[in-house]
Amino acid sequence: MKTSRKIKNILSKMPNSSGIYLFYNFKKELIYVGKATSLKNRVKSYFSGLKSPRPIEFMIHEVADIKYKPTDSVLEAVILEANHIKKLQPKYNIEGKDNKSWNYLVLTKEDFPKLLAVRQYELERQNYENTKLRNYENTKIKAKYSHIFGPFPGLNTKEALKLFHKIFYISRCNTRQKRPCFDYQLGFCLGVCTGEITKEQYKQKVIKPLISFLKGNKKRLISSLKKEMQEEAQARNFEEAARLKKQINSLERIYDVALLNKSLFEDSVLGGNIKRIEGYDISNLGETGKVGSMVVFNLSGPIKQDYKRFKIKTVIGQSDIACLEEVLYRRLKHDEWMVPDLILVDGGKGQVRAVRKVIDFYKKNIPILGLAKGKTRKKNEFIFDKKNKYLKEFIEKNQDLLIQVRDEAHRFAIAYQRKLRRIKK
């Protein structure tokens, strides 16, 4: 198929971020909506000349215009796609929509609603047989759910539920329990089990923000939460203000690779959407003065307000790898800190293995890059998972930036060590 000049021009400007893309035909009708971890890579693949499944192949011949909407995370792309399909009913999204295993998220009808994941066939079993999918929310049949969101093909709903429980403080406990629930002890329950929150407060603080997010209104939600946080701080309700700040931080950078079912999600390859890079290094004077550094970069350069310093507390003797493990364990305890898209360490395979061990312990999916100098101490060597083609491509395009991250982590660690030495004197 010959690609038009207009389409080529659009493809050349396509960003390398997550988001949704919208295909229009010559009549300016929307015919397809898709999601991607990398808009640039995904949309270009349609016009690469490779043979596609027959419905997609027919669709590409109809495409006369393409629009796209970048998102801050893949999860938001999943939600945005679902909302567009439900509202606009594009031709090629609706045809063949008979996959009974597609996932939905639902809110139960209770004083303190629960968020659950259900399959399409489960909904149809509950007296929805004669109701089209897009009208589930509008049905007059008495149902057990107050809201139904989706479908979300490709979404790992088990991981999504865990994330939403943490961000939105959704109750998983029951009222009038004898003991506070485990979530309450961890700070992720606002007191449903202890009677500390009313159903009206729960609706305002928990359900309303969740619904706003699942309807694709993240920016509006964050703006509202910031205003609420300022009001709570002015009223000297500092604990609630701190909770809101943590919630805002979590919303501003949702880490979502683990939320993708790779067998269903388009081009969900780790490393396709790298925006935030954290660089780490260790500095010591023999067995004393051991410190670690964390520097943060985006594609434009350093984000110095996010830098962190660590005084090593548990490592006896001299071991940069053990020090690095301690730093990463301590860093990843902080759920309120923004999660990186890439971790870079000054070192080789040993350092990369140490970081992988910590990341696996916390059940995170963050790509790791080691940057070591070669035998001549002049040639830089990148150590990473060679199967990750997006990470490989990112390294090829951003070598100078990555070297800058490594050098800045080294500088920051040494500066901290020198500062501590001056204080001791």
pLDDT band for position 141 (cuts 50, 70, 90): very low
Reported as type and span, the H/E element at residue 122 is helix 120-125
pLDDT at 278 exceeding the cut of 80? yes
Question: Is the four-CA dihedral 127, 129, 134, 140 of positive or negative sign?
Answer: negative
Question: 378 versus 397: which is more confidently predicted?
Answer: 397
Decide if 344 contacts 369 (C-beta within 8 A).
yes
pLDDT of residue 288: 66
pLDDT of residue 259: 53
127: number of Cβ within 10 Å: 12
- pLDDT tens digit sequence for 299-328: 778 888 889 999 998 888 888 899 999 999
pLDDT of residue 266: 41
Q: Classify residue 51 by burial, with Cβ atoms within 10 Å: 0-12, 13-18, 19+.
A: exposed
Q: What is residue 155's DSSP assignment?
A: B
Per-range mean pLDDT, top range of 260-269, 351-360, 394-403: 351-360
pLDDT band for position 57 (cuts 50, 70, 90): low
Residue with tokens 């270009």: 44
Q: Classify residue 192 by burial, with Cβ atoms within 10 Å: 0-12, 13-18, 19+.
A: buried
Structure tokens at 105: 């998220």
Instruction: Provide the whole-model pTM.
Output: 0.59
Question: 235 versus 423: which is more confidently predicted?
Answer: 235
Decide if 397 contacts 389 (C-beta within 8 A).
no
- pLDDT tens digit sequence for 64-110: 999 999 998 888 888 999 999 888 989 888 754 545 457 889 999 99
- pLDDT tens digit sequence for 202-233: 999 999 999 999 999 999 999 999 999 999 99
Separation between Cα atoms, residue 142 and residue 188, nearest integer Å: 31
Phi, psi dihedral angles at 289 (to 5 degrees) = 60, 35
pLDDT band for position 369 (cuts 50, 70, 90): very high
pLDDT band for position 268 (cuts 50, 70, 90): very low
pLDDT of residue 143: 65
Angle between helix 238-252 and helix 157-168 axes, rounded to 10 deg: 150
pLDDT of residue 72: 85
Residue 406: beta bridge partners?
none
Phi, psi dihedral angles at 277 (to 5 degrees) = -115, 130
pLDDT band for position 26 (cuts 50, 70, 90): very high
Domains of the chain: 5-94 (3.40.1440.10), 103-259 (no CATH), 277-424 (3.30.420.340)
pLDDT of residue 131: 47
pLDDT at 365 exceeding the cut of 60? yes
Question: 37 versus 322: which is more confidently predicted?
Answer: 322
Helices (H), 253-382: 320-332, 349-361
pLDDT of residue 273: 61
Question: 422 versus 81: which is more confidently predicted?
Answer: 81
pLDDT band for position 287 (cuts 50, 70, 90): low
Per-range mean pLDDT, top range of 137-151, 176-190, 339-353, 359-373: 339-353
Q: Classify residue 394 by burial, with Cβ atoms within 10 Å: 0-12, 13-18, 19+.
A: buried
pLDDT at 270 exceeding the cut of 90? no
pLDDT at 173 exceeding the cut of 70? yes
Separation between Cα atoms, residue 78 and residue 154, nearest integer Å: 8
- pLDDT tens digit sequence for 247-261: 998 888 775 544 554
Separation between Cα atoms, residue 61 and residue 1, nearest integer Å: 7
Phi, psi dihedral angles at 18 (to 5 degrees) = -70, 160
Give percent above pLDDT 90 in the chain. 41
Separation between Cα atoms, residue 117 and residue 99, nearest integer Å: 16
